[in-house]
Amino acid sequence: MTMPTPESPVSLREDEYQLRLLSIFYFILAGLTALIGCFPLIHVAFGFVMIIAGAAANAHPAGPAPLLGGMLFMLIGGAIFIICQAIAFCTFLAGRFLRSHQQHTYCLVIAVIICFSFPVGTVLGVFTILVLVRPEVRRLFGAD
């Protein structure tokens, strides 16, 4: 039995299959990140209710605590929501680039970034890095 050489069609098909599979997992991770990133909207809504309740109880000298607390809830919740959606979008783009064999460096950077998303992102990021650093895959991307 002969082993396939790095340039053989079997090796090329295997690399393309692995990249396609990785791209599917990137799409799934992007969807999960976008979904989980919507949970901070609860804080935004709660902060909005605090501001409205504080404005309605303005006749009582309760001080600026409800207004300040509500603004803080809204700002932090909104910032976390925007950051999560941006990460989801970047992950989705990496999945598209993996599928179309474009932007090798971008895919490598996103793979390193999602390694911080334990445990699913870590596994996916490590496998992506292992696939992207192979010379055959670099050639497939045109990143020589």
Predicted local confidence at residue 143, as pLDDT: 72
Chain length of the chain:
144
SS3 7: coil
Give yes or no for residue 35 having a pLDDT over 80: yes
- Give me the residue label for tokens 């309605």: 56
Helix (H) or strand (E) holding 105: helix 104-114
Which one has a higher pLDDT value, 1 or 48?
Answer: 48
Distance CA 93, CA 18 (A): 17
pTM of the model: 0.83
Share the mean pLDDT of the chain: 88
- Answer whether 94's CB lies under 8 Å from 106's CB: yes
Torsion of CA 59, 64, 69, 72, to 10 degrees: 130
User: What is the average per-residue pLDDT within 35-57?
Assistant: 89
> Which of 41-50, 55-64, 98-107 comes out lowest in average pLDDT?
55-64
User: What is the average per-residue pLDDT within 96-114?
Assistant: 95
Per-residue pLDDT of 121-135, as tens digits, reads: 999 999 999 999 999
* Nearest CA among 54, 66, 90, 144 for reference residue 98: 90
Distance CA 105, CA 91 (A): 14
Give yes or no for residue 1 having a pLDDT over 50: no
Residue 62 is given by DSSP the state -
Distance CA 33, CA 27 (A): 10
- Answer whether 61's CB lies under 8 Å from 10's CB: no
Q: How confident is the model at residue 57 (pLDDT cuts 50, 70, 90)?
A: low
User: What is the average per-residue pLDDT within 84-99?
Assistant: 96
